Amino acid sequence: KAGVTQTPRYLIKTRGQQVTLSCSPISGHRSVSWYQQTPGQGLQFLFEYFSETQRNKGNFPGRFSGRQFSNSRSEMNVSTLELGDSALYLCASSLMGDYGYTFGSGTRLTVV
């Protein structure tokens, strides 16, 4: 079966712009979690969506937001980009959000 698909793979944006990243989970998975990966900080949790509802939220500013659609696809949005937002953004899907997280390949965002 198809894995977790993230688009786009690479993105270059200018400070102040906004960006939208997309994640399509494994078919049947209802939970999608987003993580920010940077070299010094590892994997930091952004938010989790389950059945179109945000179930958990990490400690990130309000510029980071997300949503989930009825087909479980999820998007995250970052507004007013800062240089420090440059990172690999990973999404992970699981059946119910409890076990067996499967990661996508990520979107590499570079802010210049």
Residues contributing to the site for other proteins (CB under 8 A):
31, 33, 35, 41-45, 48, 50, 55-56, 58, 90, 92, 96-106
In the complex, what is the shortest distance from the CB of residue 94 to other proteins, in angstroms, rounded to a whole number?
A: 9
* C-alpha dihedral, 9 to 14 to 82 to 54, nearest 10°: -50
Return d(Cα 33, Cα 21) in angstroms, integer: 13
Residue number, 5 or 20, with CB nearest to other proteins = 5
Residue number, 12 or 43, with CB nearest to other proteins = 43
Residue number, 79 or 102, with CB nearest to other proteins = 102
Residue number, 10 or 14, with CB nearest to other proteins = 10
CA angle 107–59–17, rounded 5-degree value: 45
Return d(Cα 99, Cα 35) in angstroms, integer: 16
Cβ atoms of 18 and 77 within 8 Å: the answer is: yes
In the complex, what is the shortest distance from the CB of residue 45 to other proteins, in angstroms, rounded to a whole number?
A: 5
In the complex, what is the shortest distance from the CB of residue 16 to other proteins, in angstroms, rounded to a whole number?
A: 29
In the complex, what is the shortest distance from the CB of residue 80 to other proteins, in angstroms, rounded to a whole number?
A: 25
